[in-house]
């Protein structure tokens, strides 16, 4: 594609599906306030980060400078932060 992202969820984060998964995975931790649930939640975060990095490496190879510019403008997983 000549332009990537920009509008909608891809204009906020590069991986909106993973962002939503992180939010959904946090729900049991918040709802139950059980500290032991932080362990599987942190495992989920690590897995999502690794997967996002793998996908982005592939996209850099396929799309080149267009995707690199997009990455400079849009955060990876958490809007405006990371």
Mean predicted confidence (pLDDT) in 69-77: 87
Decide: residue 8, CB within 10 A, 0-12 exposed, 13-18 middle, 19+ buried.
exposed
Which is more confidently placed, 58 or 6? 58
**Residue 44: what pLDDT?**
92
- The answer on pLDDT for 2 being more than 80 is no
């Amino acid at each position: 594609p000549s332009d990537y992202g920009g509008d909608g969820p891809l204009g906020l984060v590069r991986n909106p599906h993973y962002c939503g998964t992180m939010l959904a995975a946090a729900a049991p931790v918040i709802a139950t306030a059980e500290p032991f649930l932080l362990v599987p939640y942190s495992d989920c975060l690590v897995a999502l980060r690794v997967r996002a990095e793998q996908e982005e490496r592939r996209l850099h190879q396929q799309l080149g400078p267009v995707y690199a510019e997009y990455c400079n403008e849009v955060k990876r997983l958490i809007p405006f932060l990371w």
